[in-house]
Structure 1
Amino acid sequence: MANRDNSPRTKARKRALDILFESELRERPTVETLADRVALAEPPVRPFTIDLVNGYLEFAEVIDSVLVDSLADGWTLDRMNRVDRNLARIAIYEMMHTDTPQRVAIAEAVDLAAELSTDDSPAFVNAVLARATDVLRRRTPDSAAAEASETATDDAAATGHSTPSTSTASGGSDVSHSAPDPTGDPAQG
């Protein structure tokens, strides 16, 4: 197995988490934090990081709704720690709007939770995202077709055959995105 820490997409996810986390912590609009990180370029911000951050911002209301519906009774978004909440947001965005297989999005979030959050976070994030897949399946009428397509792609890859991709990846690399900042920044308005 390849070293996950060396994966460009893993590094991009971690950087997206850093940007979302920093914005919440500093109570600052996420688009400003992202723009600053892109301008500083230390290290350079990967296009996939920009896609993840802008994608979350674009679909924040729906993603947070899925996340709320995936929490156990008594849990709220505000009760979740910032790392876990933002890892879940990134993973749900990936599951909904990219060609990343759901199991990969979940595994990446769980691995980053193990590295960056509490001891209980990997199991918590895994459970929340497993429920999120069920929520997404119930909300998406053609989820059975998408699931069948993913299975066919997996089966074809295992046998060395290829199948056409049905990606819905977002091209959201616009740093000046003007969606409301769902991180709770009162200055965003």
Structure 2
Amino acid sequence: MSTRRQVRERVLQALYAQEVSGDSVEHILNTLIRPIFKGEKTYIRFAEKLLLRGLDVREEADALLDKHVQNWEISRLALTDRLVLRMAVAEMIHFDDIPPKVTINEAVDLARIFGSEKSPSFVNGVLDAILNELRETDRLSKKGRGLINTSTKTGE
């Protein structure tokens, strides 16, 4: 039995493979996603959607990163950190059933596993700033109990 954490780890690896190899998305899905979650349709659908949205949101995510990564060029960020951030932005924007805090916590954990010693705090800070901007610009669409932060303080 798989978990969403395992799906996120595999999708991060698939995003990395696609970025480095330039292979088609279909090839990546057929070699790195579908065989791993064989028979687990819910996880395959989640993985496919997360991978595709992660690729689709690249320009928008990079524009957000550019605003919130101070004194640093996006191209100079570690590739794993950049991909974790893109994937998290995709989740925040396109997965209305996942609370932003869950997305951030999962991204921080992925950064801890795949990034450097400083990656978790870096990813946390950048995603917190992006989340605040998405809220302020009304681009965060979350539905359901516990998915919307109704407090007036930011970062809670």
TM (normalized to structure 1)? 0.65
Q: Which residue of 2 aligns with 1:35?
A: 30
Q: CA-atom RMSD, angstroms?
A: 2.8
Q: Which residue of 2 aligns with 1:150?
A: 148
Distance 1:94 1:76, change over 3 A: same
Q: Offset at 1:141?
A: 6.6
Letter in 1 for 2:32: R
Letter in 2 for 1:64: D
Q: Offset at 1:43?
A: 5.0
Letter in 1 for 2:113: E
Distance 1:42 1:111 in 2: 21
- Runs of 4 or more, structure 1, over 6 Å off, are none
Q: Offset at 1:49?
A: 1.0
SS at match of 1:78: helix
Distance 1:70 1:8, change over 3 A: same
Q: Offset at 1:48?
A: 1.1
Whose relative contact order is higher, 1 or 2, with alpha carbons under 8 Å and at least 6 apart? 1
Cα displacement string for residues 157-179 of structure 1 (whole angstroms, at most 9, x for unaligned residues): xxxxxxxxxxxxxxxxxxxxxxx
Q: Output aligned runs, 1:19-168, within 5 Å.
A: 19-38=14-33, 41-42=35-36, 44=38, 46-72=44-70, 74-98=71-95, 99-140=97-138, 150-151=148-149
Letter in 1 for 2:21: R
Q: Offset at 1:31?
A: 4.2
Contact persistence 2:68–2:129 (CA under 8 A): yes
Distance 1:51 1:31 in 2: 13
Distance 1:38 1:123, change over 3 A: closer
Unaligned runs of 5+ in 1: 1-5, 153-189
Q: Percent identity?
A: 30
Q: Which residue of 2 aligns with 1:11?
A: 6
Unaligned runs of 5+ in 2: 151-156
Distance 1:151 1:120, change over 3 A: closer
Distance 1:61 1:38, change over 3 A: same
SS at match of 2:29: helix
Q: Which residue of 1 aligns with 2:153?
A: none
Distance 1:43 1:97, change over 3 A: closer
Q: Give the count of matched residue pairs.
A: 143
Cα displacement string for residues 49-68 of structure 1 (whole angstroms, at most 9, x for unaligned residues): 11101112233322222222
Contact persistence 1:91–1:106 (CA under 8 A): yes
Distance 1:126 1:85 in 2: 12
**Bigger Rg, which one:** 1
Distance 1:142 1:93 in 2: 11
Q: Offset at 1:23?
A: 1.3
Q: Offset at 1:38?
A: 4.5
Distance 2:123 2:140 in 1: 26
SS at match of 2:76: coil
